[in-house]
Amino acid sequence: MVSQQRPPYAGSAPGPALARVIVVVVLAALVDVYLFAVPFRAGGAGRIVGTVAVTVAVFVLQLAWVVPRAARFRGAALLLVQAVVAYVDVLAFGTSVGILGLVAGSALLASYALPAVAALGSAALIAAVRSPDAAGAVDSAITPVLGALVVYGLVRLAHRVADLAAARPALTMAAVSRERLRIADELNTGIGRGLDAITAGSRRALDHPEEIDEVLRVARGSLADARAAAAGFRAMSLAPEAAAARALLAAAGIEAEVRAGHEEPLGSAGALLATVLRESVTEVVRQSTATRCVIETAERDGTVRLRVSNDGPPTAARGEEGLADAAARVEAAGGALTTGLGADGRFAVEATIAATPRPVSLPDRTAYGLSVTLLAVVVTGFCVKALLQLPWGVDLAVAIAGMGLIAGLQLRWAVDDRPRHRYALIAAQALLSLAPILWFGATWIGAMGFLAGTFLVALPIRIGAPLVAATMAGTGAMAAALSLGPARIVNYTVSTLVTGLVVYGLVRLARLVHDLRAAGEELARAATVQERLRAARDLHDLLGHSLAAMLLKCELARRLGEVDPARARAELTEVVAMAERARADLRAASGAGEPEMSLETEIESARSVLTAAGVETRVELGHGPLPGPAATVLSTVLREAVTNVLRHSSARQCVITTTSEDGLVTLTVENDGLDPRARRTPPGSGIGNLTTRLAAIDGTLTARADGTGGFRLHARLRPDAEPS
């Protein structure tokens, strides 16, 4: 069982829809302020109905800038209609000039700066005419400015959320493309030149046998480069080592459980932890006393932790040799490795090391900064509106300090949505919102809106919503206790909700932008890791085998040079052909093409290579035609099996068998030549690679020694299975 943390919006993206809902709710709340004021201002039922209808029309026209299906209506004509309706609302029905902020916000969204400035300027002029005092006029003039910023900011952020969600697949593919170019450059620089040199050298050696030594040198170097590159690509992730560990434990009859709690890629940290994992699991298998082994990883505060525990009894032999070397390497990198009994009574090996930088990121980092900046400006504007009601003096300085603290707390929620002392911050916000009312009176009641916003952004909605309702009721009660008129009581009560929703909208959209960006970067990192792992598999399974086979053929040609020149030339001719095929393998490994392999061709190649190595080979084929993916996977399995026969045994006999029964095709490779007394070692990366390849088409792989000197590899798949 592998448990993996699911990134926010990793699958379908609810972000854009949620962003639009937030914007619509906040805009509706803004308009509600003007609607609730209608009964206290308009005279007669007809005038009330007309005012409500026109105000609602301004809101409906505003929705065209939010709803995607209305995008075709956006432009100068829509802006003009909205402006006409809004000015009728203000001039004919006496609605507050604040509603002109919606018009200015629409103009900013349409990139019409001058009309936006004109709308705000006219709002200030009308406010100055209507208001008997300067402070009231300034207050009324600030309201449409804040409204314009809220409209512009919310809608723009909602659009950025949609853009980020829609762009993630393209950005992920761009990350993969960049990684493929990087891989191709790395491989072509080293291995590609080596293949060219092998091809040219083998052709020269057809007529000049003394050139074979140089071909052998280049082939050895290229094989070493391919293995090093595969190991380097694999080192970015613990997944291949975990798969190999699971296979080794299963072969030993030990139940294995993997719990992954880290982010990929791990880079150099992953390479060190892979060594610890390999040595730990090897030791568990060597002791042969455990029945269950748990492999866990976790990542926190820039540190990655690996823990391998088992239920076998601890012995003095544990931790020696390989683990000691791994511990030294981990400590040299600034980490730590410990062994011993854990709190659960299991023997455990635990390694911790700093996570290496993950250089995968998405472009355009401005959206989150825009959201935080807008929040800061809007919160500051609300604070200024409240402070304008106070006279100059000591009280004003105290009020400015208090409002500054409130504004800072609001920004805190946008920067960090899970602070350590959440409830202490909420309590501080409540104190700063309530206590100054005893000193400043009605002037400070507006701060209750910030408290409502804190409840919405800091607490689950099931808790925050009732608290907001209580805050609104408390605001109305305090306004009544201060002997304010009915119109002001309603205004303060509704404004508490509006301010809270504005704060919530800006903070929530800032988080959506941040989360979607983080999810996009995580998807890009995951795609990059998968691309590197794919390159590692292809290098190991395809190119590694080809280079090993060429090396073997060159060795054979050198030995045959004097005793059988014709046979030596034939072997060298085959090396040239192998080098040409290896070029195609290199293109596949670098992502420039998909490998297409024929099982029949690979079987003949395997027979040729094994025979050249002195291994008696018997082939028994019982399969029919195979589709491309199945043939390619089984051909890759066969390549790895032949490589293992040559590298890890002194085989004298090898049997390659294929069968087809009940819709399943099986490939079996059996060989002798193993020392049954040899220490059991972990499977190489090839077994993990093959397990991954087969699993992609719903196949299975088993590979184990029989205890009497033989080894059997068995692959089974359904030919018509679609790759996943």
Convert the pLDDT of each residue in 157-212 to its tens digit.
888 777 767 656 555 655 665 666 666 666 666 777 887 888 888 888 877 877 78
Q: Give me the domain span that covers residue 293.
A: 266-354
For residue 503, being part of any structural domain is answered with: no
Domain final residue, candidates 354, 382, 414: 354
Residue 573's identity, in one-letter code, is T
For residue 202, being part of any structural domain is answered with: no
- The predicted pLDDT at position 2 comes to 33
Provide mean pLDDT across the span 710-717.
89
For residue 443, being part of any structural domain is answered with: no
Assess whether the previous peptide bond of 265 is cis (omega < 30° from 0): yes
Domain final residue, candidates 301, 330, 354: 354
For residue 497, being part of any structural domain is answered with: no
* Separation between Cα atoms, residue 323 and residue 327, nearest integer Å: 6
For residue 288, being part of any structural domain is answered with: yes
- The answer to whether residue 592 scores a pLDDT higher than 80 is no
Provide mean pLDDT across the span 685-699.
72
Share of the chain above pLDDT 70, in %: 80
- The answer to whether residue 82 scores a pLDDT higher than 90 is yes
CATH code, 348: 3.30.565.10
Domain final residue, candidates 302, 334, 354: 354
The structure tokens listed for 442 are 């009605």
* 305 DSSP assignment: E
- The answer to whether residue 522 scores a pLDDT higher than 70 is no
- The answer to whether residue 541 scores a pLDDT higher than 80 is no
Contact in structure between 197 and 218 (CB atoms under 8 Å)? yes
* Separation between Cα atoms, residue 162 and residue 169, nearest integer Å: 13
DSSP 27-81: HHHHHHHHHHHHHHH--SHHHHHHHHHHHHHHHHHHHTTT-GGGGGG-SHHHHHH
- The answer to whether residue 466 scores a pLDDT higher than 90 is yes
Contact in structure between 266 and 306 (CB atoms under 8 Å)? no
Which of 313, 234, 318 lies closest to 281, judged by CA?
Answer: 318
- The answer to whether residue 7 scores a pLDDT higher than 50 is no
Secondary structure string (H, E, C) spanning 416-447 = CCCCCCHHHHHHHHHHHHHCCHHHHHHHHHHH
Find how far residue 450's CA is from the centre of its chain.
33
Q: CA-based angle 413:418:421, to the nearest 5?
A: 90
For residue 261, being part of any structural domain is answered with: no
Provide mean pLDDT across the span 653-672.
91
Provide mean pLDDT across the span 111-120.
92
- The predicted pLDDT at position 12 comes to 38
**Mind listing the pLDDT tens digit for each residue in 44-75?**
778 888 889 999 999 999 999 888 888 888 88
For residue 589, being part of any structural domain is answered with: no
- The predicted pLDDT at position 118 comes to 94
**Mind listing the pLDDT tens digit for each residue in 251-289?**
778 888 888 887 766 666 777 788 888 888 888 887 778
- The answer to whether residue 357 scores a pLDDT higher than 60 is no
DSSP 569-621: HHHHHHHHHHHHHHHHHHHHHTTSS-----HHHHHHHHHHHHHHTT-EEEEE-
For residue 498, being part of any structural domain is answered with: no
* Domain total in the chain: 2
Cβ burial of 190 (10 Å; 0-12, 13-18, 19+) is middle
Residue 283's identity, in one-letter code, is E
**How far, in Å, are 229, 258, 325 from residue 307 at the CA level?**
27, 10, 17
**How far, in Å, are 176, 309, 345 from residue 312 at the CA level?**
43, 9, 10
Strand order in the sheet with 616-620: 616-620, 653-661, 664-671, 711-717, 700-705
